[in-house]
Amino acid sequence: MKTEYKIIVDLIEEKTRVLDVGCDDGTLMESLKKDKNVDARGIEISKDKVQTCVSKGLTVIEGNAELDLKQFPNDSFDYVVLGQTLQAFVNPEIVIKELLRVGKKAIITIPNFGHWKVRLNLLIKGTMPITESLPNDWYNTPNIHMCTIKDFVKFSKIINFKIFKSLALTKKNISNIDNSNLFYKNLFAELGIFLIEK
Amino acid sequence: MNIKENIKTLVIKKPLKLDCGKTINNFPLAYETYGSLNKNKDNAILVFHALTGDQFVTGINPVTKKDGWWSYAVGPNKSIDTNKYFVICANVIGGCMGSFGPSHKNPDTNKIYGTDFPVITINDMVNAQVNLLDHFEIKKLFSVVGGSMGGMQVLQFISNYPDKANTVVPIACTSNHSAQNIAFNELGRQAIASDHNWSDGKYLSNNTLPDKGLSVARMAAHITYLSKKGLQEKFGRKLQERDALKFGFDADFQIESYLRYQGSVFVDRFDANSYLYITRAMDYFDLVKQFDGNLSNAFKKTKAKFFVISFTSDWLYPTQENKDIVIALNAIGADVGFVEIKSDKGHDSFLLDVPDFLKTLKNFLDKSYSER
C-alpha cells in the first residue's frame, strides 16, 4: 500500500465514521475497514472505479465532490478524506468548507508544487513542470489549482481553518512540518498531509 | 387470461385493507420460486416485477412459452444466482397472471369485476406480497430487488417493513411519478378506453377484446422504454422489406413494423383492464407525500444496506430521480451505494444484456451475502 495511505490510516481513530472523497478503487477504504474497524463510505466520479469498489463490498456512491457533498448533513462523519484532488477543483475554498461541514475533521493531502524539482523544472526549462506525480502538460492537466505546502498553510489563515497536524512525505520518509522547518519541507517534500479542523 | 395449471397460488385469508378504503380477503396471490431456501432461511430474495411483468422471472414462462422477463439477471450463476439464493416473485394484485385482478369474478355478483375491481396502489401490492414471507416462514429476506415499478415496490416494502430485508436494491425507478410519467400512462389508458371493444371494461363478459387499444398503449409505452440513440442505431430510417417509400400508411419504416409487432404480441399475454389498474397504481405512487414531503423519513426505521442503480440513457426514470433516493438516504446516514450504468438501451437496460449492470448487481449481492 502507498505510504500516503498508511499515514492516513494512522491518523484515523478506531471505530469512527469516515467519508473518502475521490475514493478511487477503494484501497484506502479497505484498509480503514480492516485495520481500524471504520464505517467507511466513498464518493467516486469514475463509473469503473465505483464498480470496482462495489466488487470489494464497499459502500460507494458515484458522484462529484463539488456537487454531491451537499447531500450529507453537518458533522455526519468523524473524518472526511480528500487525497491529492484539492488542486483539481474549480473552487478549493468551497470544497474545504464543505469537507469541514460534513466532517468533524478532514484529512487533505496535496502534491507539493514547491518541491525543488518542480521549481528547477520551471527555472531551467522555462516550461510548465512535468514530474512523476504531475505527469500532464499544462493544457491537459486536471490540476488547475496547484499549490505548495506553504500556500496551503497560508490558506488556512485566509479562510480560517485549524491545521491540527501537518506531515511531509519525502520518498518514504515521514516528518512533521512546523514553522521552523516550513522553508525546507516546502522545498523537499513531495506530498503534504494535513489533518484539519474548523 | 386463463389461469393455467402451472400457476402456484397462495390464497390470502387475512383481510387486506386497501388504500382506496375497501377490504379484500380470501384472494389469490400467484407466485413462483427459483432455487431453494436454506436451513437458516436467510437466503431469500423477493423480486418485484414491473408494469407488464409477472411471477415467471426466469426460465421458460409456462404460459407464454417465452423466456422469463429477467432471464439475463436471474438464474444459476447469474447476477441473482439461483444456486445460492431462493428467489420469490409474485404477480402483483391487479395483474393478470393468476393474482387477484380485474379479470376475476366478483363472488358477490358472480360477474367479472372489470372496472368494478377496487383501485389498488403500490402499497397494496406490497402488503399483499408480504404474506409470502409468512408462508415460507422467512423472518427476514436477504434482499428485495426490482426495477421500474418493481423498484417502487422495493422502496415501499422497506418503508412498510424496515426489519424484513438485509439489502435493498431499487433499480431505474423513482419515489414518485413525474407529470411526464403520468402523461404517458394516461395516453395508454385512453388508447384502451377509446377502443370500442373495451365496452367500459366489460369486454370479458361481452367476449370482445380491446386488442387495438391495448396494442397502441403498448406501442407508445415501448418508445419510452428505449433511448433515441438506441432506436436510431437499430432502425434509423431503414425501410421494412421494400426498396422505396410506398406513399401510403402501411408500415414503410422498420421502426413502424417493429412497434406494431410489439403491440400485437403484447395483447396475447396481457389484460387491458390490468393495464389500467397497474398504470394507475404507478401514477398514485408518491413515497415523498406519504412521508409529508420528506423522503428520508420513509427509510428512518431501517438498518438495511441500499444499492441504487440507474442508467445513463433512461429518460423515463432518469438518473436524477434515482439520485434523489440516494440523497434522502445519505441525509439520514443510511448505508447506501449508487452507480449510474452507461448504456444506450434506455429504461429497458435493466432487463437486457448490459454486462456492467449484471456484473455490478452480482457483485453487490454476493459480497453483501458473504459479509452478512
The residues facing A191 across adjacent strands are: A111, A169
B182-278 has CATH 1.10.1740.110 classification:
yes
**Interior CA angle at B156 toward B151 and B159, to 5°?**
130
Task: Convert the pLDDT of each residue in A78-129 to its tens digit.
Answer: 999 999 999 999 999 999 999 999 999 999 999 999 999 999 999 999 999 9
Q: What residue spans define the domains of chain B?
A: 8-177+286-370, 182-278
Closest-CA residue to A7 (of A168, A151, A134): A168
pLDDT for B365 equals 98
**Residue B359 touches chain A, beta carbons under 8 Å:** yes
Closest-CA residue to B336 (of B367, B369, B364): B364
Which of A29, A59, A77 is the mutation pick for testing B, counting most B CBs within 10 A? A59
Classify B8-177+286-370 by CATH class: alpha beta
CB neighbour list of residue A74: distance below 8 Å, 6 or more residues apart: A101, A102
CA distance A179 to A182: 5
Closest-CA residue to B44 (of B166, B170, B147): B166
The residue length of chain B stands at 372
Whether B199 is catalytic: no
A-chain residues near B363 (CB < 8 A): 51, 54-55
Asked if B359's CB is within 8 angstroms of A59's CB, the reply is no
Q: E strands along B62-214, which residues? A: 74-75, 80-81, 86-90, 105-106, 111-112, 141-147, 165-171
**Residue B349 touches chain A, beta carbons under 8 Å:** no
List B54, B195, B314, B348, catalytic entry: B314
Whether B314 is catalytic: yes
3-class DSSP assignment, residue B66: coil
Q: What is the pLDDT along chain B (372 residues), one digit of tens a residue?
A: 455 678 999 999 999 999 999 999 999 999 999 999 999 999 999 999 999 999 999 999 999 999 999 999 999 999 999 999 999 999 999 999 999 999 999 999 999 999 999 999 999 999 999 999 999 999 999 999 999 999 999 999 999 999 999 999 999 999 999 999 999 999 999 999 999 999 999 999 999 999 999 999 999 999 999 999 999 999 999 999 999 999 999 999 999 999 999 999 999 999 999 999 999 999 999 999 999 999 999 999 999 999 999 999 999 999 999 999 999 999 999 999 999 999 999 999 999 999 999 999 999 999 999 988
Asked if A59's CB is within 8 angstroms of B326's CB, the reply is no
Whether B148 is catalytic: yes
How many separate domains does chain A show? 1
A-chain residues near B356 (CB < 8 A): 47, 51
pLDDT for A134 equals 82
List B79, B103, B148, B368, catalytic entry: B148
Residue with cell 420469490: B88
| For A55, nearest residue in chain B (alpha carbons) | B363
**Residue B339 touches chain A, beta carbons under 8 Å:** yes
pLDDT for A132 equals 81
Query: Which residue positions in chain A have pLDDT lower than 50?
Result: none
Q: Which domain holds residue A47?
A: 3-197
Asked if B333's CB is within 8 angstroms of A61's CB, the reply is no
Q: Which of residues 66-85 of A touch B (CB under 8 A)?
A: 71-73, 76
**Residue A55 touches chain B, beta carbons under 8 Å:** yes
pLDDT for B1 equals 45
Please state the pTM of the whole predicted model.
Answer: 0.95
Predicted-complex ipTM score: 0.91
Concatenate the DSSP letters of all residues of A111-159 into one string.
E-TTSHHHHHIIIII-S----SS--S-TTT-S--S---HHHHHHHHHHT
Asked if B307's CB is within 8 angstroms of A61's CB, the reply is no
Which of A30, A43, A54, A56 is the mutation pick for testing B, counting most B CBs within 10 A? A54
**Residue A47 touches chain B, beta carbons under 8 Å:** yes
Residue B305 Cα, gap to closest chain A Cα (Å) = 9
Residue with cell 397472471: B97
B-chain residues near A71 (CB < 8 A): 326-327, 330-331
Which of A51, A64, A80 is the mutation pick for testing B, counting most B CBs within 10 A? A51
**What CATH number did the domain enclosing A121 receive?**
3.40.50.150
Asked if B340's CB is within 8 angstroms of A47's CB, the reply is yes
CA distances, B355 to each of A51, B5, B316, B349, B362 (Å): 12, 35, 21, 10, 10
